[in-house]
Amino acid sequence: MIPFGRGPYRPIKNWVYTNHINDKITHFVFAAILTFLAYYILYPQRVRFWSVEIPLGTLILLLILGLEETSQVFIRGRDADPFDLLASWSGLFLGNFLARWWDKRRPQKNT
């Protein structure tokens, strides 16, 4: 396996780490795609908090992304950037919105 940062992956790594904006874009896009996929993988399971229903896939990713970013406080050489978390959660909300929008557009089965 080629380590990330060598061979064909070097241009991707260089683009992400060129500046902080590219890093935030990567967090945003990655979270949006994962949330969209998780919505359908765990569809139609939902968790209810009082009167709010949250798709299970979205809730799991909300927790994982939060834990992943805050755990970096305890890892030497890493930094827990609150803007990374904000970018990830923004992508999560976009992915959830797009999944719900796409779900409403699908033809409904007549039973």
Task: Summarize pLDDT for 14-24 with one digit per residue, the tens.
Answer: 766 676 788 88
Task: Tokens for 24, please give them.
Answer: 């935030």
Does residue 3 form part of some domain? no
* Between residues 96 and 20, the one the model is more confident about: 96
**DSSP letter (8 states) at residue 33:** H
- Residue 111 reports pLDDT greater than 60: no
Length of the chain in residues, anyone?
111
More confident residue, 8 or 103: 103
Residue 110 resides in a domain: no
Residues 6+ apart with CB under 8 A from 2: 8, 9
Span 1-58, pLDDT tens digits? 455 556 676 777 676 667 678 888 889 999 999 999 999 899 888 899 889 898 999 9
Please report which confidence band the pLDDT of residue 75 belongs to, taking 50, 70 and 90 as the band edges.
Answer: confident
d(CA 51, CA 62): 19
Domain count, the chain: 1
Instruction: Tell whether the model's pLDDT for residue 83 goes beyond 70.
Output: yes
Q: Is 49 contained in some domain? A: yes
37 in a structural domain: yes
Query: Is 8 or 67 the better-scoring residue by pLDDT?
Result: 67
* Stretch 66-81: mean pLDDT: 87
Distance of CA 18 to the CA centre of its chain: 21
Please check whether residue 7 lies inside any domain of the structure: no
77 assigned to some structural domain? yes
Answer whether residue 81 is part of any domain. yes
Q: Is the pLDDT of residue 98 over 80?
A: yes
Domain that residue 92 falls in: 15-98
Q: Does 64 fall in a domain?
A: yes
Q: Which of 46, 39, 34 has the alpha carbon at shortest distance from 102?
A: 39
